């Protein structure tokens, strides 16, 4: 039987990355993600990898650009304000179609805010916080084991689509310790050759990795058309979602990450009380599991979205169901989080309403 | 009769800012907004103001934090990648509720992209590119005179709501020269006293400007509740929109900024051909003029959104009309822009469809 | 009779600079010089000048390069580690022959050290801590009034020779408050026109300020020959020194700045005891008052150098007197300083030896 | 017989470092030392070492602080302006008594200057360009083989004395390719255990590496006393010098590095003409081989110093011989260098004078 070990979310992410052959990490400290660089600093040298405590968030993300351009499996992580500092670099990496994994262990905002868990960076993550029309693949695990499993796959999907993958967690997920079954790395897909990488050019045509596209007037528009096609392909192939008791549900509760897990507890309790409630939890928030929501909207009467923010994810739910059913919202930013009891109470209000 | 002078959009923004008593500008050069710092460098000393060519985009935005905290009317500007670099600072300024004006003269993205006009930073502007649940007031003028007029008001609204205002232009608007009637500055509203400013504390209680809210567990959530109330107030009071021939329109064309101006040309030509087409052009894209769209959706059959991007603003149109009518999209990112003929052709296709 | 006001050394420097028409200051905080930026921040706006709290020491010194190139009277200040950070910029300013005043309020070193007074940066100041063969004019006042008077002149000499002037103080001088007679600024010399400044080029030949001299193979060597000539001229014209009872002295005590002042107390006490002791205190340490030392070496038997360092200034004394008389040394770096009693004791030992 | 390979000076330095088990290099590009980071970038991964192209000179030197504090053999390199930028860090490393090797491949200065060979950074190297009373061990090889041999030893001496070692070369030495016999690394001395290093603290007392010494009032002065003792020990143990035909010389020519090699050619030609001329070439310029000069001064009548600068090393020659014999100087900064013919001519003038 597989051995379970107790790991904090932040630590599990590191172990998964190392197991998935990530060998380059550059980062800068910020609470509540500090166990990521701390653990990377210890683990990377053990496997012949490189850990760099960069001089700034900007330095870190640009080192990731460089490492990825050179063909390395690489990762960086931070928390909300640190991710904001990385956004220029993230746009560059997405533009250059470089694979990498970025973790955002969200904290309370805006500004310096506080170090409690929050989900105020959803728009930044899925709509493109940086400039230009790029997309990140955004994964939002709801527990340490899932975080471990998805982090491993994140590297494969990043390589498959030549696109950055963002692990969208929060302080709760990062700091919670849970038993984890460590797994042998097996690629989640057939990995393409990195024949575009800057590996030192001998006996081949020179590779170029760039984001400045001056050439012809249409060069950059064409690149955007190409990106749009790629993003459509990702949307059609990679959409992850958990559905729970939605078949006969009159009310669908939704949320992502740790909030959805809390909400699931409420849904269970509601069912125990005989209320017809189900849950949809997007595991990938981009691509968004639109079809699942669409199907659910045909049967359910109402939706309830719970977020640790002032309301961001709720917009994507409305767009997914084309506003065909009313969508209630429950949430506050800045470190507030709901209990199963809070959510159950809200469920009863909404159903009663 | 008022004298007209020929000004590029970038220059008009500066003249309006100076006229509106802006006396502090910090920026960093990037095409296609370079006339802003260049003109500021010449004009500020003439009026006893301060121009700083900062050492980086980060330095510039943090100087704005400081100047605004000290009570100065202040401004910075940049173009897409430069705005990404400023996002941490923008989140801080919004969190601290400091008034300032920020201009984004958008260029083609993602990455370094090119220096042509584009509208790929819409999500970043209106959904909060930086971390946390903050909002910017975002104004999107469609000509140099409107840019001039709105820039003046931007400073007043920033002061009124203690909130950063983003002037969302693009390379076309910034580089186009048009005749402008210069106006005497008259406040657009009754301006509140800046009794929160750090002006040197004598004979009064000390002021504190901060974004780190550790204190009680609820301190930051309460601050978010306060911000949500403020944003609702702004939404109820400040929504700017141009409507053109929407009364009997079967098709509503929409867009913002220079794209909307091009689209308006197409709408005129369509009307000349007897097609029942109208235009809604949000002048403020946050707050979004939802009511105008809602009313139009009751009568019109279809919507067509035109953007110089792969599709961002189109989401807000769908949300505004609650997906009650089909919304077609026309747009490509990276420096592509439509001609009135392109748009007319698309109008005919959509109406024929 | 002139009014006296009580000023700390750091404050006196600011008042003198303002009186001497310095209108641009850029700096970064570090103890024990913090009163300089603090006072500048308050005083500059009162006189229509500009104070910039720069983002780093590097930013500050490069802003000085820019302000001086534009023709402004300008100043920066720091303490030991901060001056090290400025050395690339100082070399550039000296190479470009730009006038400015730089203050080093020395603290204990090496490294972060401590915040006590020290004189460990003498070599850095007079031998050229930065790269290349440049020279700074280095003034070392021994009291607040002298600091006030010399700071005013420093701006004139900087302009006259188009060369940076370094005010070499220490934490003791910066923190000590003494009565100061404020004086009306009267130029210390006929000031040359700044016809080389980058003031915006209209109806004249374009000015160029640069430090990269690629042109011909000999361009930079010729520039060095020119600098050597300029430095010789400065050495012949600008050498400041205080002599005290050296005529019949058997022992000459020497030192600079506050140490020399302490030593002077010891010399007085020695004279009171009938010991034939005198003092030479260079006020300019570059140019070094070589002739005064040379003349003294013809009569005196011995020299004693006192420094708040492990021994740096002592080398220039030996070179000045061409090692013709024995030179004893008394000093420790890192925040140690002598009392008049210590020095008297040492005088007695040396004379007795 | 040992195999010779052709290496540029910059390349030889890298090969020696790698052979001497240096496994960490952080640097930033600047001509004429670019082959150092370029070669390090290729070679380090081959031996399991780490190469970092840092974001700035400041980042590079502070990474060296970190790597050395962690016990790694580490190196950085730059050229004149880049070394100026590193001086704060160098002072910190010297204060913390951390071993490392720093190369300065000098170029013409001051300012950006040019990229020709020069020796304008002598004072910076030997007198302490950074703040505080620290010393670097400074080695000045005159050929590629010697550069190779000394670089290997530099790491040992750095470890032995826990002190940074500066390889003081110039563009000529860095760019010249000469045949080099590669040697197996054999420690130049018994190497002490790095029991002070921050290796992760288990079962031992915690190590602390610091440069801020607040504690007691005397803490930093005591640290300076300790450093002075250490520097005296180094001076007594480590002084390297080449003497050539000094026994009967009436004139001693002196210089260091490539200039001394050129001068040696002139000395040979002078001997061929029957002139009684010798050469002293310090190989370590700190510690300075004072005794060799002192002995020579007892017999020779005159000295001639040749430098690629306006005159810096010449001061140390005067101090070493206590000005007992006249010292002539030949040199210009900024990329000038002498030919053997120039020097011979000067020798004849001096001897004839």
Q: What is the DSSP string of B266-320?
A: HHHHHHHTT--EEEEEESEEES--HHHHHHHHHH-SEEEEEESSSSSHHHHHHHH
Which residues of B are less than 8 Å from C54 in CB distance? Answer: 55
Which residues of B are less than 8 Å from A221 in CB distance? Answer: 108, 332-336
Chain C residues 8-27 within an 8 A CB cutoff of chain D: none
Which residues of A are less than 8 Å from B230 in CB distance? Answer: none
Which of A26, A44, A47, A54 is the best substitution to test chain D (most D C-beta atoms within 10 A)?
A: A54
Give the whole-angstrom CA distance, residue D346 versus residue B153. Answer: 76
Token couple for A20: 């998935």
| Chain B interface includes A32 (CB < 8 A) | no
| Chain A interface includes D43 (CB < 8 A) | no
Give the whole-angstrom CA distance, residue C4 versus residue C15. Answer: 13
Give the whole-angstrom CA distance, residue B4 versus residue B1. Answer: 9
Measured in angstroms, the CA of A200 and the nearest CA of chain D are apart by: 10
Query: pLDDT value at position A229?
Result: 98
Res D353 pLDDT > 80 = no
Of B173, B93, B82, nearest to B137 by C-alpha is B93
Query: pLDDT value at position B353?
Result: 67
Question: Do residue C132 and residue D120 have CB atoms under 8 angstroms apart?
Answer: yes
Which residues of B are less than 8 Å from C71 in CB distance? Answer: none
Question: Is B28 strand, coil or helix?
Answer: coil
pLDDT in tens, A79-88: 999 999 999 9
Res C203 pLDDT > 90 = no
Apex CA A315: angle with CA A313 and CA A321, to 5°? 110
Nearest to B59 among C48, C50, C55 (CB): C55
> Looking at residue B107, what DSSP letter applies?
B
How far from chain centre, in Å, is Cα C117? 15
Measured in angstroms, the CA of D282 and the nearest CA of chain C are apart by: 19
Which residues of D are less than 8 Å from A42 in CB distance? Answer: 200
| Chain D interface includes C128 (CB < 8 A) | yes
By CA distance, what is A320's nearest residue in B? B323
Which residues of B are less than 8 Å from A218 in CB distance? Answer: 336
| Chain C interface includes D120 (CB < 8 A) | yes
Which residues of A are less than 8 Å from B83 in CB distance? Answer: 131
Task: Show the beta-strand stretches assigned E in chain D.
Answer: 4-8, 24-27, 50-53, 74-78, 100-106, 137-139, 164-170, 177-181, 241-244, 251-254, 277-282, 284-286, 302-307, 327-331
Chain C residues 54-83 within an 8 A CB cutoff of chain D: 58, 80-81, 83
Do D206 and D142 touch, CB atoms closer than 8 A?
Answer: no
> Looking at residue C18, what DSSP letter applies?
H
By CA distance, what is B125's nearest residue in A? A129
Element at B323 (helix H, strand E): none
Task: Show the beta-strand stretches assigned E in D4-157.
Answer: 4-8, 24-27, 50-53, 74-78, 100-106, 137-139
Burial A88-107 (b: 16+ CB within 10 A, else e): bbbbbbbbbbbbbbbbbbbb
Res B1 pLDDT > 70 = no
Which residues of D are less than 8 Å from A56 in CB distance? Answer: 55
Res D323 pLDDT > 70 = yes
pLDDT band of residue D197 (cuts 50, 70, 90) is very high
Question: Do residue B132 and residue A116 have CB atoms under 8 angstroms apart?
Answer: no
Question: Is C348 strand, coil or helix?
Answer: helix
Query: pLDDT value at position D201?
Result: 83
pLDDT in tens, B5-50: 999 999 999 999 999 999 999 999 999 999 999 999 999 999 999 9
Which of A110, A212, A321 is the best substitution to test chain B (most B C-beta atoms within 10 A)?
A: A110
Question: Do residue A56 and residue D55 have CB atoms under 8 angstroms apart?
Answer: yes
pLDDT (mean) for C189-206: 93
Question: Is B13 strand, coil or helix?
Answer: helix
Element at A20 (helix H, strand E): none
Give the whole-angstrom CA distance, residue A298 versus residue A294. Answer: 7
Question: Do residue C52 and residue B54 have CB atoms under 8 angstroms apart?
Answer: no
Res C2 pLDDT > 80 = no
State how far the alpha carbon of A295 is from the alpha carbons of A313, C161, D248, in Å.
18, 82, 103
Of D42, D53, D123, nearest to D83 by C-alpha is D123
Give the whole-angstrom CA distance, residue A293 versus residue A309. Answer: 21
Which residues of C are less than 8 Å from B58 in CB distance? Answer: 55
Token couple for A289: 């599991």
| Chain A interface includes B113 (CB < 8 A) | yes
Question: Do residue C56 and residue B55 have CB atoms under 8 angstroms apart?
Answer: yes
Do B126 and B286 touch, CB atoms closer than 8 A?
Answer: yes
pLDDT (mean) for A291-308: 98
Task: Show the beta-strand stretches assigned E in chain A.
Answer: 4-8, 24-27, 50-53, 74-78, 100-106, 137-139, 164-170, 177-181, 241-244, 251-254, 277-282, 284-286, 302-307, 327-331
pLDDT band of residue C353 (cuts 50, 70, 90) is low
Measured in angstroms, the CA of A93 and the nearest CA of chain B are apart by: 7
Which of B105, B111, B215 is the best substitution to test chain A (most A C-beta atoms within 10 A)?
A: B111
Res D107 pLDDT > 90 = yes
Q: How many contacts (CB atoms, under 8 Å) link A and B?
A: 255
pLDDT band of residue D200 (cuts 50, 70, 90) is confident
Contacting subunits of A (3+ beta carbon pairs below 8 A): B, D
By CA distance, what is B310's nearest residue in A? A133
pLDDT band of residue B203 (cuts 50, 70, 90) is confident
Measured in angstroms, the CA of A240 and the nearest CA of chain D are apart by: 38
Query: pLDDT value at position D104?
Result: 98
Res D275 pLDDT > 90 = yes
Residue that has been written with the tokens 């361009």 in this structure:
C219
Do B162 and B97 touch, CB atoms closer than 8 A?
Answer: yes
Query: What domains are defined for chain A?
Result: 4-192+225-237 (3.40.50.970), 242-352 (3.40.50.920)
Query: pLDDT value at position C118?
Result: 97
Helix axes D313-320, C313-320, angle to 10 degrees: 70
Question: Do residue D127 and residue C123 have CB atoms under 8 angstroms apart?
Answer: yes
Element at A325 (helix H, strand E): none
Of D235, D347, D239, D259, nearest to D300 by C-alpha is D347
| Chain A interface includes D200 (CB < 8 A) | yes
Query: pLDDT value at position C127?
Result: 95
Do D141 and D180 touch, CB atoms closer than 8 A?
Answer: no
pLDDT in tens, D113-166: 999 999 999 999 999 799 999 999 999 999 999 999 999 999 999 999 999 999
Which of C59, C163, C213, C220 is the best substitution to test chain D (most D C-beta atoms within 10 A)?
A: C220
Apex CA D7: angle with CA D4 and CA D11, to 5°? 135
Question: Do residue B59 and residue C59 have CB atoms under 8 angstroms apart?
Answer: yes
| Chain B interface includes C52 (CB < 8 A) | yes
Measured in angstroms, the CA of D28 and the nearest CA of chain A are apart by: 14
pLDDT in tens, A267-287: 999 999 999 999 999 999 999
Q: Please provide the size of chain B in residues.
A: 353
Give the whole-angstrom CA distance, residue C237 versus residue C227. Answer: 15
Question: Do residue B332 and residue A88 have CB atoms under 8 angstroms apart?
Answer: no
What φ, ψ does residue B180 adopt, rounded to 5°?
Answer: -130, 130
Residue that has been written with the tokens 């801080």 in this structure:
B92
Query: pLDDT value at position A3?
Result: 84
By CA distance, what is C48's nearest residue in B? B48
Element at B213 (helix H, strand E): none
Helix axes C144-161, C219-237, angle to 10 degrees: 140
Nearest to C131 among D83, D221, D310 (CB): D83
What φ, ψ does residue C52 adopt, rounded to 5°?
Answer: -125, 120
Report the sign of the C-alpha dihedral through residues A307, A308, A309, A310, in that order.
positive
Res D286 pLDDT > 80 = yes
Which residues of C are less than 8 Å from B53 in CB distance? Answer: 66
Give the whole-angstrom CA distance, residue B85 versus residue B67. Answer: 19
Give the whole-angstrom CA distance, residue A188 versus residue A209. Answer: 26
How many CA atoms does the CB half-sphere of C30 hold within 13 Å?
Answer: 30
Contacting subunits of B (3+ beta carbon pairs below 8 A): A, C
Of B264, B294, B267, nearest to B281 by C-alpha is B264
Question: Do residue A223 and residue B81 have CB atoms under 8 angstroms apart?
Answer: no
Chain D residues 241-300 within an 8 A CB cutoff of chain C: none
Query: pLDDT value at position C3?
Result: 84
Give the whole-angstrom CA distance, residue B349 versus residue B345. Answer: 6
| Chain C interface includes D42 (CB < 8 A) | no
Report the sign of the C-alpha dihedral through residues C116, C121, C125, C129, in that order.
negative
Question: Do residue A220 and residue B121 have CB atoms under 8 angstroms apart?
Answer: no
Query: pLDDT value at position D1?
Result: 59
pLDDT band of residue D72 (cuts 50, 70, 90) is very high
Give the whole-angstrom CA distance, residue D17 versus residue D102. Answer: 11
Query: pLDDT value at position A353?
Result: 67
Mean pLDDT score of chain D: 96
Measured in angstroms, the CA of A24 and the nearest CA of chain D are apart by: 11
Contacting subunits of C (3+ beta carbon pairs below 8 A): B, D
Do A296 and A280 touch, CB atoms closer than 8 A?
Answer: yes
Which of D85, D121, D133 is the best substitution to test chain C (most C C-beta atoms within 10 A)?
A: D133
Percentage of chain D modeled with pLDDT above 90:
95
Judged by 3 or more CB pairs under 8 A, whether A touches B is yes
Res A1 pLDDT > 90 = no
Helix axes B340-352, B257-272, angle to 10 degrees: 60
Beta strands B164-170 and B177-181 are unpaired
Which residues of A are less than 8 Å from B98 in CB distance? Answer: none
Q: Which residues contact C322 (CB under 8 A, 6 or more apart)?
A: C294, C297, D318, D323
């Amino acid at each position: 039987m597989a051995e379970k070990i107790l790991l904090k979310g932040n630590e599990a992410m590191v172990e998964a990355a190392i197991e998935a052959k990530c060998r380059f990490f550059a980062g800068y400290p910020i609470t509540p993600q500090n166990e990521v660089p701390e653990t990377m600093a210890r683990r990377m040298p053990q496997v012949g990898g490189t850990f760099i405590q960069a001089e700034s968030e900007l330095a870190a993300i640009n080192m990731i650009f460089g490492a990825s351009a050179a063909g390395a499996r690489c990762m960086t992580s931070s928390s909300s304000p640190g991710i904001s500092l990385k956004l220029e670099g993230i746009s560059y990496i997405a533009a250059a179609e470089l694979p990498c994994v970025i973790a955002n262990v969200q904290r309370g905002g805006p500004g310096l805010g506080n170090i409690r868990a929050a989900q105020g960076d959803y728009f930044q993550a899925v709509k493109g916080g940086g400039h230009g029309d790029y997309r990140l693949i955004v994964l939002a695990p709801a527990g340490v084991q899932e975080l471990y499993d998805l982090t491993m796959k994140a590297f494969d999907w990043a390589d498959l689509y030549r696109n950055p993958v963002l692990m969208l967690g929060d302080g709760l997920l990062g700091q919670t310790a849970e038993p984890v079954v460590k797994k042998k790395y097996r690629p989640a897909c057939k990995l393409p050759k990195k024949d575009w990488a800057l590996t030192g050019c001998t006996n081949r045509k020179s590779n170029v990795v760039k984001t400045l596209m001056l050439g012809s007037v249409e060069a950059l528009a064409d690149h955007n058309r190409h990106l749009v096609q790629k993003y459509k392909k990702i949307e059609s192939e990679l959409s992850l979602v958990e559905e729970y008791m939605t078949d006969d549900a009159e009310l669908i509760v939704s949320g992502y990450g740790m909030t959805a897990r809390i909400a699931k507890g409420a849904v269970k309790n509601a069912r125990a009380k005989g209320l017809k409630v189900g849950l949809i939890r997007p595991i990938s928030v981009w691509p968004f599991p639109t079809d699942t929501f669409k199907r659910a909207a045909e049967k359910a009467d109402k939706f309830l979205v719970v977020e640790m923010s002032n309301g961001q994810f709720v917009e994507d739910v409305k767009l997914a169901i084309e506003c065909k059913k009313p969508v209630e919202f429950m949430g506050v930013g800045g470190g507030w989080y709901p209990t199963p009891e809070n959510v159950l109470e809200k469920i009863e209000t909404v159903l009663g309403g």
